[in-house]
Structure 1
Amino acid sequence: MLDLPFGQGLVFLVGLGIIGYGVALGIRAWTEKFREQLSAEGQSGDAGTAYLWLGKIGHAAKGVALSIVGGLFCYAAVTHDPKKSGGLDQALREVLDQPFGPVLLVLVGVGIGCYGLFSFARARHLSR
């Protein structure tokens, strides 16, 4: 794709789009916009508090992971090296190679697990 006319620009724009979605997930976590997806029952009591924390942590972690993927796409476009772009697995490998990488990787993994648990809660307490 990078060798096509405007290929680098397109890959860079895709990377920016992925980063934008990651940032949107982070904003969604901060503002708790995801609460709209849960019924009142899903937001009340101790279970509701847990669901909200899972949603907050999960959306933030997913946003961070996707922003890293988008960053790799942008980096690949700038360096004109398609091997530099990759999916979530390559993004997580990049995190692992950083100082405190294993700790960061565990935090991102726990966060994505929280997103998964929130998804179960959302399926059970879907707001209609």
Structure 2
Amino acid sequence: MTDLTSYVPSPPPQWVENFARFGLTAKGVVYSLIGLLAFMAAFEIGGQSTDDTKRSGVLRTIQDLPAGDVLLGLTAVGLLCYAIWRFIQAIKDTEDKGSDAKGIARRLRYAFSGLVYGGFAFLAARMVLGDSSGGGTDSRETLTAKLLEQPFGQWLVGIVAVGTIAAGIYQIYYGFSEKYKKEVHTSRVQHEAELLLIRAGKLGYMARGIVWLLIGYLLLQAALKSRASEAGGNSDAFALLENSSYGSFILGAVALGLIFYGVFMFLRAKYQPIRS
């Protein structure tokens, strides 16, 4: 199997590589759990509902396991490591995106990802310390409410909605076109693992794109109706799928895709070259 890229990255400091691989593993755990909980909600297994797929619900699932506080603490550290790595990618331009408009946009995306997972890590840490008072709030709804209070607030929310929908479309394209394979040197992967990587990445990115499309749709409804309560996150997107025709099967398929996305994160943690 030929290598998918001729670029051989220079080795980063060991702590950066450790942060990246630990962070990718933690992200894999989170997405695998989101997919598992969504699948259980789709077919009403174990009394699960789409409400359990909120950030706090996923973290609480970890906390309810044996030695749950320890596991949740490790998850919090892993998510923080992932956030720091994303900031390093954005600031140092370790992925060679450049300083033109397209490159800056990609680096800002890394920074935004760092903020999102940093917030996730903060929530997990609070829950470990016994304070989950903020776990039930919907961050998108809160952000939407603040944007709607601004001048031209509906337009601002509409722009965010369109951006989210565009990101969802790109995620589906990214998965279908198999562009994600460049993130891992396949020359380091055994043939069986490479097949799993290709399939997991394709299904995972496409499922993630569908969820982003639905979140963008909810944001667009919030903009059009000027009601922050119309906005929502993963759990609201899953509820939309569940309430559609053949909803259980559609939600189940998307849930399996998110589990595959989690598996792809594990493969990235093992095989992805980390650049300095």
User: How big is the alpha-carbon RMSD for the aligned residues of Structure 1 and Structure 2?
Assistant: 1.3
Pairing 1:26–2:161 present: no
Name the counterpart of 2:263: 117
The answer for unaligned runs of 5 or more in structure 1 is none
CA offsets per residue over residues 26-59 of structure 1, 9 Å max, x none?
A: 1111111100111123555121011110000000
Please name the residue that 1:95 is paired with.
241
Pairing partner for 1:46 from 185, 188, 192: 192
How far apart are residue 112 of structure 1 and its match?
Answer: 0.5
Amino acid at match of 1:78: L
Aligned to 1:107: 253
Identify which range, 54-63 or 78-87, moves more after superposition: 78-87
Post-superposition offset of 1:84? 0.9
Correspondence for 2:201: 55
Do the aligned residues in 2 keep the contact of 1:42 with 1:51 (CA within 8 Å)? no
Structure 2 equivalent of residue 74 of structure 1: 220
Q: Which has the higher helix share?
A: 1
Q: Separation in 1 of the partners of 2:253 and 2:188?
A: 25
SS in 2 for 1:98: coil
Distance in 1 of aligned mates of 2:253 and 2:194: 23
Q: Deviations over 1:57-87 (max 9, x none)?
A: 0000000001100110011101222111111
TM-score, length basis structure 2? 0.45
How many residue pairs end up in the alignment? 128
1:4 to partner: Cα distance: 2.4
Q: Tell me, which stretches of 5 or more residues in structure 2 are unaligned? A: 1-146
Q: What is the TM-score with the length of structure 1 in the denominator? A: 0.93
Rg larger for: 2
The percent identity for this pair of structures is 28
Once residues 25 and 42 of structure 1 are traced to their aligned partners in structure 2, the CA distance between those partners, rounded to angstroms, is 25
Q: Give the distance between the partners of 2:209 and 2:222, measured in 1 at CA.
A: 20
Mapped to 2, the partners of 1:104 and 1:125 lie a distance apart of: 31
Deviations 1:78-125 (A, max 9, x none): 122211111111111111111111111111110000000001001101
2:148 paired residue number: 2
